[in-house]
Structure 1
Amino acid sequence: MKAKAVRMYGEMDLRLEEFELPEIKEDEILVKVMSDSICMSTYKLAKQGKKHKRAPQDIDVHPIIVGHEFSGDIVQVGDKWKEQFKPGEKFALQPALNYKGSLDSPGYSYRYCGGASTYCIIPHEVMELGCLLKYDGDSYFKASLGEPMSCIIGGYHANYHTNKQNYDHAMGTKEDGNILIMGGCGPMGLGAVSYGLCFENKPKRIVVTDISEEKIARAKECIPESEAAEKGIELIYVNTSAYDDPEAELMKISEGHGYDDVFVYVPFKPVAEMGDRLLAFDGCMNFFAGPTDNQFKAEINLYNCHYTSTHIMGTTGGNTADLIEAIDRAAKHEINPAVMVTHVGGINAVADATCHLPEIPGGKKLTYMQFDMPLTALTDFEELGKTDPLFAKLDACVKANRGLWNAEAEKILFEHFGVK
């Protein structure tokens, strides 16, 4: 059958093209891709080309399909999996495979499996590893965003605390503690706030910092302090650039206690060092941000590490259990991955948006594979709606949902473009 996809041939060489998709084998599954959100990791892949550790060396003649944050419908199931999967079921996918030591991963390594495609073939190893997941939510985009949400969830679960009685580690952020999310008004930070409000180790307080008043204003609209208050959690947004001594202000907000859990969401040395200084007794700092410099370093206080049990760790990615939790909570409306999304577009927008991702402001760029549409900021809907009825409808729908992308807006797009 014919499929259309964004394929990578080399460094910054992404092409949207039509090609022949082979018949599936008895241990494969054919899927129709509905949504795919663009990850900074895909930009890094495009920038490195075949130098990337997951990219095959023959992409110049056998290109791979990019995109790994995708969701859609199962179309055809090979005989091996017919008892487990059925045509018509929605799916989400965990792309972080580890099949017999191989680094191969959907969106990085496969000729016929990636999210930036109208249809693709899921290889047997995905099912064998339990990484093709059924999804029952009201929209596809929430399942696409399950992968970045799983990274956030993994961070919350990986943090730990100790005690002086034994060597047991209490896993997860501290119950009734203070959480500090530094650089937290970007897409991943807002996802971390959304999850923190429903995590079983309910915190007393979540403090979110940024240096952009514009980003803080959007964060307050996406997740208002009142929403947290309804759950018995104090949520405070702080513009650290507004204070001569932001460290003192943050310590004051914690009532002098410090922070039991600190998440650093920007790879900036002064921020990481401040986070270390703000740790409470037995506080855990998770350096979540991924630096591009493999020699990135920051100073930490080893006196506190020894005498006050502070500790530092880092997490990257989430496991399959984290992804299952992400899509389950999203389907139940316990978390709202929409706080990450600032732009939407069609399959024709993927290549250019990926190659210029660092230059495009805002959060997640969500793309739909079954139609063409320019990459458009949600904040541009109002102006475009003055001359285009589609954007007028989308603008009204988004404004009715605190400025967030939502299931109804997705349905409006599908109806407009005749997507079944």
Structure 2
Amino acid sequence: MNHSPSTIPLTMQAVRLHGAGVENIQVDTLPVPEPNANQVLARVDAAGVCTSILKLVEQGSAHTFINGWDLVKHPVILGDEGCVTVVQAGKNVASRYPVGRRYATQPAVAHPPINHRERYRNGGQGMEKVAIGYTLPGHLAEYMLVTEEAIAAECLLPLPSDDIPFFAGALCEPFSCVISAQDRHIHIQQESPTAPRVPRLGLLRGGVTVIIGAGPMGRMHAAAALRFSPRHLIVMDILAERLGWIRENLSEKARSAGTELHTVLSAEGPDLIKKVSNGHGADDIIAAVGLRKVQQESQQWLAKGGVLNLFGGLKRGEHLIELDTLRVHYDEIRLCGSSGGSPADVAEALRMVAAGEFDPGKHLDMVGSLDQFAKALELIKTQTVEGKIVLYPQIRPTDLERVNAWTRRDEAGFIEARRKA
């Protein structure tokens, strides 16, 4: 696809949330926004559909990143994953963001709100973060206004190579969440009994790593875990077909990393952990599913000094779990979590894609046009899609299509055949 921007139209299609509940999602026709001197207008080339949108739709104005914003009066454009091309830049930022350059985005904007502070609860007092696809314009539109908050937080990350396709740029955002989460693991190591303790970030090299859940994010976690060459990598799920994907796509990479890859149904997981660890337990566990039972029980599967990452968030009202303080005290286990990543994590994801260390095409399951958003969200909600879904806002209405090992060439042909007149 030609990356040079075409003439900017007067109107655009955008997926907006007009209140809590799926019935309040609409595809609206809106004026294409005009950037001020400190803003950027970008064409959205690809937009991912993320499970986090489900929480936003369910919670509406009560969501942390919405913080009281009245969605009925001020609907928001959804979409926190995307790849964009700059088509217009304000005079104060034009030198930093040249027209025609492509970017991946970091939607978690580590900056207080600048615009529309009056719309937030208590005027936005105490807010340290806003988000693209929440109160800042999102990617599920033909064009996206990149506001002062996102620019100040450096949330546009240039694609390092023209060979990186749009979908790969979009999927660097969820992969950046995985990179960020695994960096939250801290292991205290000593070279000898009298040597000083040294904290090391990341999964324990040569250890036992467990990924609970082989859905879209669990797959990415399993792929990323191999960076640390664990001795054993165990991936658990209740669905055998999901485990089949892990074996098919990660077995060779695991062998290259010197890692023994295990896939196991969840009910058999605890016994396998005991077996491969000689009864010690797992050094790293990532709960890539939002289930209280999993977060509760997996604490007992940790080895001494092990780390449990509560990656899958729980619903409000169902988010309290018990903590075995004896294990924390005597076995020095740690619990950690993360919500999103940083611009540096997106940059690292882009580097890995450019270097061939991460293949986003293996993690993509379906593609379609912007009008298919409601259907895509329903597939995610009912867990009837195995990988990620990417929508292309610049194509004419197109049903969702299943894909396998999607490539730059596949994407280019798909877009060219369906480009809007």
Same fold (TM over 0.5): yes
Code of the residue aligned with 2:62 in structure 1: it is K
- Following the alignment from structure 1 to structure 2, what is the Cα–Cα distance between the partners of residues 237 and 92? 32
Asked if the contact 1:5/1:116 (under 8 Å) is kept, the reply is yes
Q: 1:408 — aligned with what? A: 409
RMSD: 2.3
- The reply on whether 1:4 has 2:28 as its aligned counterpart is no
Partner deviation per Cα, 1:342-361 (whole Å, 9 max, x = no partner): 22111111134336641251
- Following the alignment from structure 2 to structure 1, what is the Cα–Cα distance between the partners of residues 73 and 324? 51
- The reply on whether 1:22 has 2:33 as its aligned counterpart is yes
Shift of 1:310: 1.8
After superposition, residues 20-419 of structure 1 pair within 5 angstroms as 20-55=31-66, 57-100=69-112, 101-110=127-136, 113-137=137-161, 138-163=164-189, 166=196, 168-183=198-213, 185-197=214-226, 199=227, 201-223=228-250, 225-241=251-267, 243=268, 246-354=269-377, 357-362=380-385, 363-378=387-402, 403-418=404-419
Shift of 1:160: 0.6
- Following the alignment from structure 2 to structure 1, what is the Cα–Cα distance between the partners of residues 327 and 305? 9
- Structure 1, unmatched stretches of 5+, are 379-397
Distance 1:128 1:103, change over 3 A: closer
- Following the alignment from structure 1 to structure 2, what is the Cα–Cα distance between the partners of residues 270 and 78? 50
Distance 1:375 1:37, change over 3 A: farther
Distance 1:57 1:142, change over 3 A: same
- Following the alignment from structure 2 to structure 1, what is the Cα–Cα distance between the partners of residues 201 and 155? 24
Asked if the contact 1:191/1:336 (under 8 Å) is kept, the reply is no
2:80 partner SS: coil
- Following the alignment from structure 2 to structure 1, what is the Cα–Cα distance between the partners of residues 158 and 356? 17
Q: 2:7 — aligned with what? A: none
Partner deviation per Cα, 1:58-102 (whole Å, 9 max, x = no partner): 432432211110112111121112222211111011111132335
Shift of 1:309: 1.9
Q: Which runs of 4+ in 1 moved over 4 A?
A: 163-168
- Following the alignment from structure 1 to structure 2, what is the Cα–Cα distance between the partners of residues 267 and 64? 25
Asked if the contact 2:369/2:400 (under 8 Å) is kept, the reply is no
Asked if the contact 1:156/1:172 (under 8 Å) is kept, the reply is yes
2:181 partner SS: helix
Q: Compute the TM-score of the two structures, normalised by the length of structure 2.
A: 0.85
- Following the alignment from structure 1 to structure 2, what is the Cα–Cα distance between the partners of residues 269 and 6? 32
Asked if the contact 1:190/1:339 (under 8 Å) is kept, the reply is no
Percent identity, please: 27
Code of the residue aligned with 1:220 in structure 2: it is R
- Following the alignment from structure 1 to structure 2, what is the Cα–Cα distance between the partners of residues 410 and 255? 47
Partner deviation per Cα, 1:139-179 (whole Å, 9 max, x = no partner): 11111111211111111111011257656532221122111
Partner deviation per Cα, 1:171-222 (whole Å, 9 max, x = no partner): 2211221111112x1110110111122x2x4322211111211111122223
- Following the alignment from structure 2 to structure 1, what is the Cα–Cα distance between the partners of residues 295 and 330? 20
Shift of 1:294: 3.6
Partner deviation per Cα, 1:312-343 (whole Å, 9 max, x = no partner): 22222112211111122122221123343222
- Structure 2, unmatched stretches of 5+, are 1-9, 113-126
2:108 partner SS: coil
2:283 partner SS: strand
Distance 1:356 1:227, change over 3 A: closer
Code of the residue aligned with 2:32 in structure 1: it is L
- Following the alignment from structure 1 to structure 2, what is the Cα–Cα distance between the partners of residues 278 and 91? 41
Q: Mean alpha-carbon deviation: is it higher for 225-234 or for 116-125?
A: 225-234
User: Number of residue pairs matched?
Assistant: 388
Distance 1:375 1:169, change over 3 A: farther
